[in-house]
């Protein structure tokens, strides 16, 4: 059976690994990047506490020695469902089974100025761009003599009160309170603001009330200005505009406020549901096609009795769906009945800052926060990295950062661009 997987994130990687070295399957993984990366930690790359290589790994190295898995560096242009082919940016591939594992992208809710001028937080490229932008802003502020302009350069607005927004805000606050004052003496007495804004009534909306309250208190204690019920409407000429008429002047708007799946040429509009997610049955199969599947963030499945409105777009959902689909492919080859997918919700967590995190477990239903929650967060994320090399490198960087309260990774690297920071 020839299986083509589009996308090498959590879902794509776990599906391919579950089918590795099985002679019944020929697996081809297609991705526009030649590496897998770990999205929950890209904010640490963005804030210069980890190098990109700490949370990424080349696909070809990852699948080296897996005789039935090959990798194709390409973008998907179109699906030819009649002839069971995918048209790629560098050729075509035929398939017996096609699996979409394409994840999600930033959703700007139709705000073109926000799309053009804000910094998204979805890819490794986004993280490196943010790191460069933040460092450039601090260098500009260091030589700026106008106090108002300097404050605008240093003010950061993070839109989105989910885990990414919370983690970024906490990290920025700790950097402002420590690193910036040590390394930028010119800015020691400069006022700067970090805002976390969200259109809802609480941060970490999907988590427990205890987690929401603990997070709010911890962020405000760090000096983050949390604005709830504040919906961004526009971002023009260095000013963020809100639906209630309020504004914030900033050169840095970070967008972590929503995601949307992607549309693909060749897949009819009737397949897509809420958030452009492909509607799938209990086996993750597109209802209109007998041999096309979707797993992870790119699909919505309403057949699970525990999640009648669809599963949350989380890494654990993607991983479990991918592994379950692999079992069904094996059952298909063995001519055994397929089993429906059921999500095992293990809970959720978010880190706020050093020694500060919140964790909600489902079984048993327990909430805890503070230092122990922080250790749990570190352990889970460390063990979730794809290779031992990534784990050791990340652990080393975290250890250095913990004891030194710093990390010497703040280099502005812009391939192919002028290195003059004044430009």
Owner of token pair 């890819």: 123
Question: Does the structure show a pLDDT above 90 at 350?
Answer: yes
Statement to judge: residues 146 and 84 lie in one domain: no
* 327, part of any domain: yes
Statement to judge: residues 271 and 252 lie in one domain: no
Residue positions counted in the chain: 423
Per-residue pLDDT tens over the stretch 268-292: 999 999 999 999 999 999 988 999 9
Statement to judge: residues 183 and 318 lie in one domain: no
Statement to judge: residues 197 and 327 lie in one domain: no
Summarize the confidence of residues 34-55 as an average pLDDT: 90
Alpha-carbon span 13 to 63, nearest angstrom: 10
* 222, part of any domain: yes
| Residues carrying an active site annotation | 167
User: What pLDDT does residue 89 have?
Assistant: 96
> Of the ranges 46-60, 126-140, 338-352, 395-409, which one carries the lowest mean pLDDT score?
395-409
The residue that leads in pLDDT, 138 or 277, is 277
* 184, part of any domain: yes
Contacts of 174 (CB under 8 A, 6+ apart): 222, 353, 354
What is the domain extent for residue 312?
2-32+74-104+261-333
Q: Could you please report the per-residue DSSP string of 207-246? A: S-HHHHHHHHHHHHHHT-EEE-S--EEEEETTEEEETTS-
User: What pLDDT does residue 50 have?
Assistant: 87
Per-residue pLDDT tens over the stretch 295-343: 999 999 999 999 999 999 989 999 999 999 999 999 999 999 999 999 9
Contacts of 338 (CB under 8 A, 6+ apart): 283, 328, 331, 332
Question: Does the structure show a pLDDT above 60 at 165?
Answer: yes
> Of the ranges 107-111, 221-225, 344-348, 415-419, which one carries the lowest mean pLDDT score?
415-419
Statement to judge: residues 246 and 118 lie in one domain: yes
User: What pLDDT does residue 368 have?
Assistant: 87
pLDDT range class, residue 417, cuts 50, 70, 90? low
Alpha-carbon span 278 to 264, nearest angstrom: 10
Q: Cβ–Cβ contacts within 10 Å for residue 383, how many?
A: 8
Based on the structure, what is the number of domains in the chain?
2
* 368, part of any domain: no
**DSSP letter, residue 89:** T
Statement to judge: residues 176 and 189 lie in one domain: yes
DSSP, collapsed to helix, strand or coil, labels residue 385 as coil
Statement to judge: residues 211 and 149 lie in one domain: yes
Q: Do residues 233 and 243 touch, judged by C-beta distance below 8 A?
A: yes
* 52, part of any domain: no
Question: Does the structure show a pLDDT above 90 at 180?
Answer: no
Statement to judge: residues 142 and 82 lie in one domain: no
Which among 358, 273, 333, 337 has a CA at the least distance from the CA of 309? 273
> What does the radius of gyration of the chain's CA atoms come to, in whole angstroms?
22
Out of 122-136, 250-264, 322-336, 407-421, the most confident range is 322-336
Sheet with strand 356-361: strands edge to edge: 347-353, 356-361, 366-369
Statement to judge: residues 320 and 286 lie in one domain: yes
User: What pLDDT does residue 408 have?
Assistant: 66
pLDDT range class, residue 423, cuts 50, 70, 90? very low
* 394, part of any domain: no
Question: Does the structure show a pLDDT above 60 at 386?
Answer: yes
Q: Do residues 34 and 60 touch, judged by C-beta distance below 8 A?
A: yes
* 346, part of any domain: no
Secondary-structure breakdown of the chain: helix, strand, coil percentages, each rounded to the nearest 5: 35, 25, 40
Which residue among 304, 333, 362 closes a domain?
A: 333
Which residue among 333, 354, 369 closes a domain?
A: 333
User: What pLDDT does residue 397 have?
Assistant: 84
- CA 176 to chain centroid, in Å, comes to 24
pLDDT range class, residue 420, cuts 50, 70, 90? very low
Instruction: Tell me the two tokens of residue 186.
Output: 């010119």
Instruction: Tell me the two tokens of residue 257.
Output: 């406020």
Q: Do residues 293 and 284 touch, judged by C-beta distance below 8 A?
A: yes
Statement to judge: residues 216 and 312 lie in one domain: no
> Mean pLDDT across the chain, nearest whole number?
91
Instruction: Tell me the two tokens of residue 29.
Output: 């993984």
Statement to judge: residues 174 and 247 lie in one domain: yes
Alpha-carbon span 65 to 346, nearest angstrom: 32
Which residue among 234, 257, 280 closes a domain?
A: 257
Instruction: Tell me the two tokens of residue 115.
Output: 């799309």
CATH code of the domain containing 80: 3.50.50.60
Question: Does the structure show a pLDDT above 70 at 416?
Answer: no
Question: For the packed helices 163-177 and 209-222, what is the interaxial angle rounded to 10 degrees?
Answer: 20
Statement to judge: residues 265 and 239 lie in one domain: no
Question: Does the structure show a pLDDT above 90 at 398?
Answer: no
User: What pLDDT does residue 251 have?
Assistant: 92
User: What pLDDT does residue 421 have?
Assistant: 41
pTM: 0.89
Contacts of 166 (CB under 8 A, 6+ apart): 196, 203, 204, 215, 219, 350, 351, 352
CATH code of the domain containing 131: 3.50.50.100
Question: Does the structure show a pLDDT above 60 at 39?
Answer: yes
User: What pLDDT does residue 268 have?
Assistant: 95
User: What pLDDT does residue 183 have?
Assistant: 81
Owner of token pair 């599963």: 311
CA atoms within 13 A on the CB side of 134: 27
* 402, part of any domain: no
pLDDT range class, residue 373, cuts 50, 70, 90? very high
């Amino acid at each position: 059976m020839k299986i083509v997987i589009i996308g090498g994130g959590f879902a794509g990687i776990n599906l391919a690994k579950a089918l590795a070295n099985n002679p019944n399957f020929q697996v081809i993984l297609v991705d526009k990047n030649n590496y897998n990366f770990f999205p929950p930690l890209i904010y640490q790359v963005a804030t210069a506490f980890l190098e990109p290589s700490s949370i990424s790994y080349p696909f070809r190295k990852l699948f080296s020695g897996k005789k039935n898995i090959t990798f194709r560096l390409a973008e998907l242009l179109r699906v030819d469902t009649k002839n069971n082919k995918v048209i790629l940016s560098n050729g075509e591939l035929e398939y017996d089974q096609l699996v979409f594992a394409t994840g999600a992208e930033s959703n700007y809710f139709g705000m073109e100025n926000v799309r053009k001028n804000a910094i998204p937080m979805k890819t490794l490229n986004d993280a490196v761009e943010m790191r460069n932008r933040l460092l450039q802003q601090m260098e500009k502020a260091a030589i700026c003599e106008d106090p108002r302009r300097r404050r605008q350069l240093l003010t950061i607005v993070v839109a989105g009160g989910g885990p990414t927004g919370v983690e970024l805000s906490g990290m920025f606050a700790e950097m402002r309170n420590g690193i910036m004052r040590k390394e930028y003496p010119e800015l020691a007495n400069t006022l700067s603001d970090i805002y976390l804004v969200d259109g809802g009534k609480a941060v970490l909306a999907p988590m427990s009330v205890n987690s929401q309250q603990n997070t709010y208190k911890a962020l405000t204690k760090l000096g983050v200005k949390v604005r709830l019920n504040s919906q961004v409407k526009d971002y023009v000429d260095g000013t963020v505009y809100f639906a209630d008429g309020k504004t914030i002047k900033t050169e840095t708007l970070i967008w972590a406020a929503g995601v949307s799946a992607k549309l693909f040429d060749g897949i009819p509009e009737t397949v897509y549901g809420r958030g452009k997610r492909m509607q799938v049955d209990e086996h993750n199969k597109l209802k209109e096609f007998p041999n096309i599947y979707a797993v992870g963030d790119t699909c919505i499945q309403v057949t699970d009795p525990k999640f009648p409105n669809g599963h949350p777009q989380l890494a654990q959902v993607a991983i479990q769906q991918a592994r379950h689909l692999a079992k069904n492919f094996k059952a298909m080859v063995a001519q055994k009945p397929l089993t429906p997918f059921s999500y095992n919700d293990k809970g959720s967590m978010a880190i706020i800052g050093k020694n500060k995190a919140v964790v909600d477990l489902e079984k048993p239903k327990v909430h805890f926060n503070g230092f122990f929650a922080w250790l749990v967060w570190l352990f889970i994320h460390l063990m979730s990295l794809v290779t031992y090399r990534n784990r050791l490198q990340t652990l080393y960087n975290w250890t250095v950062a913990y004891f030194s309260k710093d990390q010497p990774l703040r280099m502005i690297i812009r391939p192919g661009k002028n290195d003059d920071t004044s430009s």
